[in-house]
Each structure stands twice: as C-alpha cells, then as structure tokens.
Amino acid sequence: MKIITTLLTVLIAFSISAQTIDTDYSNHKKRAIKFEFFSPLTGNSTFGYENYIKDWLSWEAKVGFIGLGLDNNDINPSGFLFKGGPKFKLNPDFVTDDLKGSHLLSGKYIRPELIFAHYTQDEPYYNGTSEFNRETFTSVGFLITYGRQYILANIMTLDYHIGLGYGWDNSNDGRYNYGHSNGDTSFPVAISAGFTIGVLMK
C-alpha cells in the first residue's frame, strides 16, 4: 500500500509540474484511450475512450474484460462490463493571467455514469464442503462520479475518480461486481473508485 501511495504522489506531482501551458486550443488533442491502472488487481482489465465535445463537456465510455486479471479467490470469473456517460467539467485549471485553461480535458469533473456487468464465477456451497457451483450474475448501477484529470504535455492523461449511487444485482445480497460494489436490496447503495492512465490522440 505504501508503494502505491508513493507512486500516486509522484505521478500527480509530476503531472502538476507538466501541465500544458500552450493556450492555443487548436493544438490540443481532444481524444484519449485509457486503461484502469489497478483493474487487473481486482479481477478484470478495463479500457476507456474519452472524446471532447464542446466547452465544459466530453463523453467517456469503458469496457472491461472480467477474468482478465488476478484471481486471488480461485473463482474463475468470466464476463464483461460496460460503463460510461457525459463528463461535465467543473472549474478549469488556469495557467495564465488572462484565464486561459491549461488543457481542454484537464480539471475536475462530474460524470453521471451507467454501469452494466454480466459474468459467471464459481460460488461455494455453504454446507461445510469445499464444493463450488458455477453461477451467473448480472448487475446494473447508476452513479454520480467525481474526479480529477491531469494532462501531461498534451501526450498523457492521469485521472482519479470516486462514484456514489444506486446499484442492483440478481444475487440480491450485495457484492463486488467488478465495475462497482453495491449493497443488498435493503440498502442498494453503489460505490466505485479508480485510477486511469491514458494516451491522447488528435
């Protein structure tokens, strides 16, 4: 955990020092391909795409491959997830006295987000044996995600985010659904968090 914290601190510190000072917005790259950096540690690999639309607005979509990652619990997950939504930029980063923004895609943001996941995995029988049963799960969530994105030299993106909202899955007992975690039917609150790195494109 200390290594991860140190890595995040160094990356964010570097990104702040490397903010783009070019105020000619026509030179700004307006699309990005991203990767959820820690997703393989949670049993999936999730990739994203962001596209700038106009001032204060872009949209972002992600697809995840469940099972393409570590399987610490030996449950053999397999499936997919989708999530995405519009990205509303909050106050921009200003780098000049005349209030020119550092980059069109940088800054704090709010993203209403829909998440859908469908997967199978081995679930243990709770009867004192070590037997497993293959089960299928489907989950849906609607979250409001708050995040902060940095742009490094008009080449690379760094983004961290956390989301809160409502979630449902067919187990009705609450669980981690790869794209998000949610409570049971009596408390259907969903949460998510992530850290992405990406490459900017024209």
Look up the CATH number of the domain holding residue 41.
2.40.160
Residues above pLDDT 70, as percent of the chain? 80
Structural domain containing residue 164? 2-201
Token look-up 């259907």 returns 188
- Least reliable range by pLDDT among 60-64, 98-102, 176-180: 98-102
Total domains in the fold of the chain: 1
Length of the chain: 202
What average pLDDT score do residues 122-138 get? 82
Q: What is the pTM of this model?
A: 0.81
- What's the pLDDT at 6? 59
Task: Give the pLDDT confidence of 161-188 residue by residue, as tens digits.
Answer: 999 999 999 988 889 999 999 998 899 9
In this prediction, residue 31 has a pLDDT band, given cuts at 50, 70 and 90, of very high
**Residue 101's pLDDT is what?**
53
